[in-house]
Amino acid sequence: MAVSLPSSSPLPASLPSNLLTRSRLLSPLSHALQLKRLLASSPAGRTRSFSLRSSSPRVGAFAADSSSAVGSELSTELDAVSRFSEIVPDTVSAIETALADSACYEQDDPNDRLSCFCDKALVNVGTDLARLVPGRVSTEVDARLAYDALGIVRKVHRLLQLYYELEVPSERLLFKIPSTWQGIEAAKLLESEGIQTHLTFVYSFPQAAAAAQAGASVIQIFVGRIRDWSRNHTGDPELDAICRKGEDPGLELVAKAYNYIHKYGHKSKLMVAAIRNKQDIFSLLGVDYMILPLKILQSLKESITYPDEKYSFVRKLSPSSAMTYNFSQEELVNWDEASFSSAMGPASKELLAAVLEGYANQTKRVEELFGKIWPPPNV
């Protein structure tokens, strides 16, 4: 069981004010239906992350330029890292049952009823989170719709309507969608309607670039998973070229995507996940969001940095340095389904297929659990 960060936790009392909180919706059986709570506030109470003013988002790293380093005052590594990137601790929120909802149990089709229960559960938890703290709530779309663009759009509209019924406005919401071509197309349509999207499961530059061109509000890359694949496989041209240069393929993909977004003026914010150690953090200082496991977060908090520290915390990613990054003509295409499909290498295809299968199976198990315990007592 993962750990949440309520006010009674030993962490929040001294965490930096720009901390982001990430909550994941779990069933007793699985991690299938996720919600993430993303919030951040800067000193003096100014919103720094996931601003409620969608027309002018104010998400960004803290360092002013690539030469910035931590000052001479005594501080922890967590304080130092938080000057450059918003930090998202990995936590879990409890889920309230939705089985007593009359609109769901009145449906005759069992599959429709179970889907209704799951949608209500997601929205109920998201609403509770939205009422607790400022910022945006990211609600995960059913992974079984990953290759159905219209199905994704309909599902998001359904979830959005449920949020409206509970008086949660769209500017408080993100909808997390798999980065298949169909998912990216759905995100493009939803963003054109003013609905904010969070494209996830990005394992290649074509996915990141196409997501940015679609106008996704948030793009999420999994650093550790890409690294793991490259250590155990060869044959992916994109990753093999990076490894031949002696670079880490996960870290390099993040840097490349960040530079592409900022060099060419895309509105997307970049989030990194599957961070395995503190060196990953130091290598990506300046990225918009980091999702950190609590173990690493605690280590940062407990590690004191002294003025004469042998290394300094220097911003690695910045809009100004992005301007000097060179892209090939092949990387600067306007992505369509054909070019996207042909550019996806073995790593991104395998990783995406595996995670979608896992999430689809977990969602099915959640629905099966709901089916076993329905109808609930006193209904």
Handedness of CA 242, 246, 251, 252 (dihedral sign): negative
- 269 φ/ψ angles, rounded to the nearest 5 degrees: -110, 145
Nearest to 355 by CA among 185, 207, 241, 197: 207
Q: Are 205 and 238 spatial neighbours (Cβ–Cβ below 8 Å)?
A: yes
Q: Are 86 and 317 spatial neighbours (Cβ–Cβ below 8 Å)?
A: no
Supply the residues annotated as catalytic.
Answer: 176
Outline where 13-143 has alpha helix (H).
77-82, 102-105, 110-132
Q: Which residue has the tokens 């400022």?
A: 134
Q: Which residue has the tokens 């306007």?
A: 334
Nearby residues of 105 by Cβ (< 8 Å), 6 or more positions away = 99, 113, 374, 375, 379
Q: Are 61 and 288 spatial neighbours (Cβ–Cβ below 8 Å)?
A: yes
Q: Are 61 and 315 spatial neighbours (Cβ–Cβ below 8 Å)?
A: yes
- 365 φ/ψ angles, rounded to the nearest 5 degrees: -65, -35
